[in-house]
Each structure stands twice: as structure tokens, then as C-alpha cells.
Amino acid sequence: MGYAAIAAGHVAVITGGASGIGLAAALHVAGLGLRVVIADLGADRLETARGRIAAAGAADVWAVELDVADAAGFATLEAEVTRRWGGADVVMLNAGIGPASDITGPADVWHRILDVNLWGVINGAQAFLPGMLERGREGLIICTGSKQGITTPPGNPAYNVSKAGVKVFTEALEHDLRSREGARISAHLLIPGFVFTGLTVGVAEKPAAAWTAEQTVDFMMASLERGDFYILCPDNDVPRALDEKRILWAAGDIVENRPPLSRWHKDHAEAFKAHLKG
């Protein structure tokens, strides 16, 4: 349910739409004849993206500056989309940032990551969902998570916490939608692999292991057509089978009463290697 929302003349709203996966998604649906709204920061970036999306065949394009941490800004955006085009059919809550963090801070980095990555998703869903339900049409809400929100590797705990929150929120959202009588909207969790985007810090050229944003969106579209909730993307280095084993091991830390993040614990290194081989 919901895939029929991706149709010519319908409306797609995409946050983080001026670059990366968001821009690739906007270009893809533009080519299908949708009206496209991209919300992001940076007027110049937005205008460049708007021109590309228009050239890709969008029925109409609107580029708007929005800080996704601002719930009032989201409410204003939803009201304007409804005024212009009757409402949204597809909402992709994709905006994200990934500055470095550690357990002790910096506090402002923690707050900003959670405000953008997690509250940006919650704010967007809460702004657009009531109108989508009221219209009664098929619709999609796609939230961009991360494998780092599932296996939570060491290195950037604020980012991991934000993406773990996106996973939990999107699962709750889908449960809520499928439990509503007459609701024709479905939620989906996009879980990218290694993707070469603006978040690929310190890398000038696409690594061989990485997918492009366009490959990720192609995979997402095929998954949506199948009705998948968990859109678990591979890349050129990690196939799905390896992702599955890593995810199962992470869950096994609880079931087997291992130390947290035991995949990176010296006392469990050999057991993890054996798990991968098995």
C-alpha cells in the first residue's frame, strides 16, 4: 500500500533535498512527472537543485529553506503545500547531519544532531500526517535511518542515538498507520549502506566500496514497489547477507547476555569471526 502515491501530478516533499540521497530522490520522482518540494538550507544550493529537478521533468518544483528542527517551520510548509497543491502524497524525511561526537560532548553537537536527525523526522511526520489522513488518498512517508542506528558501532554516539531513534519512531509510525481504520498511508525506513554523499567526510572521490545516491534511490524505489518496510541497502562492499549477520549478532548481545557492542570486544572477536563464517 502507498506505492501508487508515486504518480504523475502527485506531490512529493523531500527534506535534505538539495544534495545527496534527497536530491537523487527528487530527480527520480521528477522524471515520473510529480510535483516536487525540496526543503533544505542554503539558498544557492536550493536554487541549483531546483533547476536540475525542473529539467528532469517535474510537473512543478518549489525549493524552500527550512530548518527541520523547527516544528513551526514544518507546519508553515505543510500549510503552503496544501494551499498550492492540495497536500502531499509522498513525504521523504531525509535531512541529516553527522558531525563528530563522543560520550562527553560537545553538548551543542549532540543537541544539533538530535534536533536535525531525529526531531526533523518527528516534526515532519507530525506536520504532514494529519492532512494526508484527512485526504484519504494513498500516501508514503519515508524516513531515512542508518545501519548505525541498528548495530550502533563505536565512533559517533550522537549520530547512532539519533538514527536509532528514527528506527523506533518509524516502526511506531507504521504500526499506528496500519492500525487506523481506512488509512491508506504506509511508512518505510530507508537504511542506506555506504553512500558517497556530502556526509562522506574527507573523501573527494567516490570510494569503490560506496554506492552512489542514485543507486540507493533505485534500490529504494524497487523496495517500495514490493511494499518493504525495512529498506536495507547493500553497497559495493557489504552484501545483504553480511548485514544480516551483523544485525543478528548485535541483537544476540542481549539474548546471549554478552557485553554491549561485543563485535568490537577483544574477548568476543573470535566468536564473531566464527559467526560470520557460519
The whole-chain average pLDDT of the chain stands at 96
Which single residue is written with the C-alpha cell 546471549?
256
Residue 19 maps to which CATH number? Answer: 3.40.50.720
CB-based contact 59:33 (threshold 8 Å): yes
- The fraction of the chain above a pLDDT of 90, given in percent, is 96
Nearest Cα to Cα of residue 12 among 25, 262, 21: 25
Q: What is residue 204's predicted lDDT score, i.e. its pLDDT?
A: 72
Looking at the fold, whether 171 and 247 belong to one and the same domain comes out as no
Q: Same structural domain for residues 24 and 127? A: yes
In the predicted model, is pLDDT for residue 31 greater than 90?
Answer: yes
Q: Give the cell for residue 39.
A: 526543503
Does residue 42 have a pLDDT over 60?
A: yes
Q: Are residues 108 and 37 in the same domain?
A: yes
- Model pLDDT, residue 133: 98
| pLDDT at residue 2, as a whole number | 81
Same structural domain, 155 and 202:
yes
Q: What is the pLDDT of residue 205?
A: 87
Asked if residue 62 and residue 140 are part of one domain, the reply reads: yes
More confidently predicted of 197 and 81: 81
Q: Residues 148, 258: one domain?
A: no
pLDDT mean over 215-228? 98
User: Within this chain, do residues 86 and 11 fall inside the same structural domain, yes or no?
Assistant: yes
Nearest to 160 by CA among 145, 181, 142: 145
SS3 188: strand
Q: Which residues are CB-contacts of 188 (< 8 A; sequence separation ≥ 6)?
A: 2, 140, 141, 142, 143, 170, 174, 223, 224, 228, 229, 231
Residues 145 and 167 in one domain: yes
Length of the chain: 278
Q: Is position 159 annotated as part of the catalytic site?
A: yes
* Same domain (yes/no): 106, 199: yes
What are 230's three cell numbers? Answer: 525495512
Range name among 24-33, 62-71, 94-103, 204-213 with the lowest pLDDT average: 204-213
pLDDT at 203 over 70: no
DSSP 8-state code for residue 180? S
Number of domains in the chain: 2
Q: For the residues of 114-151, what is the DSSP string, one character each? A: IIIIIHHHHHHHHHHHHHHHHHT--EEEEEE--GGGTT
- In this structure, the answer to whether residues 117 and 219 fall within a common structural domain is yes
Is 90 exceeded by the pLDDT of residue 199?
no
Strands 139-144 and 185-191: parallel
- Predicted confidence at residue 1, as pLDDT, reads 64
Q: Are residues 150 and 267 in the same domain?
A: no
Residues 114 and 181 in one domain: yes
| pLDDT for 168 | 99
Per-residue pLDDT of 75-131, as tens digits, reads: 999 999 999 999 999 999 999 999 999 999 999 999 999 999 999 999 999 999 999
For residue 244, give its domain range. Answer: 239-278
Give pLDDT, residue 200. 60
Is residue 197 over pLDDT 90?
no
Mean pLDDT of 232-247: 98
The helix (H) or strand (E) run that includes residue 50 is helix 43-55
If DSSP codes are grouped into helix, strand and coil, which group holds residue 249?
Answer: helix
Mean pLDDT within 34-44: 98
Catalytic residue, chosen from 62, 74, 85, 159, is 159
